[in-house]
Amino acid sequence: MFTCARTFVISLGIVFCASLTVSASPFKIEIIASGLEHPWGMAFLPDGRILVTERPGRLRIIEGGKLLPKPVEGLPAIEPIGQGGLLDIALHPDYQNNGWLYFSYAEPNKGLLFSKYGTAVARARLDGNRLKDLQVIFSMNKKSSGGRHFGSRIVFDRKNYLYITVGERGERKRAQDLNDHAGSVIRLHDDGRIPEDNPFTKTKNARPEIYSYGHRNPQGIALHPETGEVWLHEHGPQGGDEINRIGPGRNYGWPVISYGVNYSSGTKIGEGTHKSGLEQPIHYWTPSIAPSGMAFYTGDAFKEWQGSLFVGALKFQLLVRLELNNNKIIKEERLLVGQLGRIRDVRNGPDGFLYLLIDDDEGAIVRLLPSTLARLD
């Protein structure tokens, strides 16, 4: 178990729409399990077990604080290429009764000369250490080579609609093509059917699964605990990581507008930072923090954190806490600066604590406990 007691002072030249605080940590860190190879997403089963995905293509079970030695069997074909592999995981809101779990992954399309890959989502039921009743409910319509920008976060809203983030695969213009899943948020029924009220169901040459578009590489998604709105964050290029509130049919601008610049050259991307008809982020980071994983804190363990939005950061290896007021971010606090490594995922635990996944060859799942609380066994 680690204890966070240092005060960190940094100067990163960050540009925000809110104040920034880097403070001592009012908590201690408890390792739940280690030995995970590049863990990416996690889900809490009702019986206390934790499911964790490993990007190389394994689904693991943590039981009684121990990582079970054998991965879950029965996964579909998964390609661990670049940023792709086995990625996010979520339980159906009625999991207790139907047993469905959902996971996103890089789906391969093997060819004789070269292969292509795309974001896909499947659902299955867990039977002991094996998946059964496997169904692929979403498959990216235009697969491509390379291992960049799969997106792949998934979340259910309060009406049991499933939202899937899809990156633009490193091919910028695709994010503005409504006939291409790349660079979009997908909205489906829990069985993969397309909702009739999706915004583009009657639009010619548009994919009816698309709910919003103009995204670069969204790797965090969460429901606002009060409004039920879908929020996401996405990687910018060199600068311009964004947090957005997602609405039907809205265009979030990539690559027409961005607060980031081109790599190496530092030149402007698209037409600048604003354009009529394109959505503005509610918060952005320049330079980039490389955000990954996101959760609104709704537990009781940290009263002062209730309603805060937490975002993991890969580049600066820290946890960001954002305070909100009327859907506006008014303060940013930076925690765990350089202490744990690359924070890949952030989740509310059923015990009221905050859980983090540490992305590494020898990664781990940890939880944050109030500093006044004795260690939990």
Strands 66-67 and 58-63: antiparallel
d(CA 31, CA 353): 13
pLDDT of residue 219: 98
Q: What is the DSSP letter of 17?
A: S
For residue range 9-26, what is the model confidence (pLDDT) as tens digits?
A: 222 233 333 445 545 567
Determine how β-strand 363-370 pairs with β-strand 230-234.
Answer: unpaired
pLDDT given for residue 211 in this prediction: 99
Average pLDDT, the chain: 92
Tens digits of residue pLDDT in 83-96:
999 999 999 999 99
User: Quick one: which of 17, 27, 20 has its CA closest to 316?
Assistant: 20
Q: What integer pLDDT is reported at residue 199 of this predicted model? A: 98
What pLDDT is attached to residue 270? 96
SS3 category, 110: coil
pLDDT tens for each residue of 96-115: 999 999 999 999 998 868 89
Whether residue 224 is predicted with pLDDT greater than 70 in this model: the reply is yes
Tell the burial category of 5 from Cβ atoms under 10 Å away from its Cβ (0-12, 13-18, 19+).
exposed
Tokens 């490594």, located at residue:
341
Q: What percentage of the chain carries pLDDT values higher than 90?
A: 89
pTM equals: 0.93
Amino acid at 282: I
Length of the chain measured in residues: 377
Q: What is the pLDDT of residue 25?
A: 61
**Which tens digits make up the pLDDT trace of 281-293?**
999 999 999 999 9
Percent residues over pLDDT 70 in the chain: 92
| 216-226 mean pLDDT | 97
Q: Is the pLDDT of residue 372 over 70?
A: yes
Phi, psi of 173 (to 5 degrees): -65, -20
**pLDDT of residue 81 exceeding 70:** yes
- Identify the pLDDT of residue 113: 81
Name the catalytic one among 38, 92, 149, 215: 149
Domain boundaries, the chain: 2-370
- Name the nearest CA neighbour of 246 among 220, 269, 270: 220
Residue type, 131: L
CA 269 from centroid of its chain's CA atoms? 24
pLDDT band at 6 (very low <50, low <70, confident <90, very high): very low
Tokens of 304: 């002062």
Architecture category of domain 2-370 in CATH? 6 Propeller (2.120)
pLDDT of residue 111: 82
CB 258, CB 252: distance < 8 Å: no
Neighbours of 303 (CB within 10 A): 8
Read off the pLDDT of each residue in 127-133 and give the average, rounded to a whole number.
98
Q: Which residues, including other chains, have CB under 8 Å from residue 196's CB and lie 6 or more apart?
A: none
CA distance 50 to 42: 7
**Which of 285 and 3 is assigned the larger pLDDT?**
285
Laid out side by side, the sheet with 184-188 consists of 154-156, 162-166, 184-188, 210-213
> What is residue 12's predicted lDDT score, i.e. its pLDDT?
27
Known active-site residue 235? no
Distance CA 377, CA 375 (A): 6
Residue 230: exposure state from Cβ atoms within 10 A (0-12, 13-18, ≥19): buried
Amino acid 309: pLDDT: 98
